[in-house]
Structure 1
Amino acid sequence: MAIYQSIFKCRLCGELFNGGVASSELNALETTTDACFGIKSEVFNAPQIKEVHLCVDGSYGVADFQGRKKINSPK
């Protein structure tokens, strides 16, 4: 079984970081599509196209949704 991890990248510091996960391919596809078109999803942990990021140096950056990374769990 696979999960789909949201990935974001901060514009200010360049850090890649994880957001919420989706437990099904259909949920991952739908919530990713909604984010791309700016549709506010009612699904728990649905990614937004932008998020605020607290950088290591204490600065606040704007992070962009990069997509969902498929992670296969060991059987």
Structure 2
Amino acid sequence: MNTNYLNVEQAAEYLNTSVRFVRRLIAERRIAFHKVGAHVRLSVDDLETFVQAGRVEPVEVRWSGGRAA
């Protein structure tokens, strides 16, 4: 298993978010992370899992052909 680990700053850049947002996710235990001594590391796989969990599928809107009142 070859997993890449990122620090908080790199994870924020990967997600295109702020460092503060990533730190809040960690503090609220909303994302998996690894402690390496005093350091926090996030795996790219865990970041992808987090992003996919937030995926919202598009809704198909059916047009009835009538006019709105």
Classify the TM-score, shorter chain. Answer: under 0.3
Larger Rg: 2
The structure showing larger relative contact order (alpha-carbon pairs under 8 Å, at least 6 residues apart) is 1
TM-score (norm 1): 0.26
TM-score (norm 2): 0.28
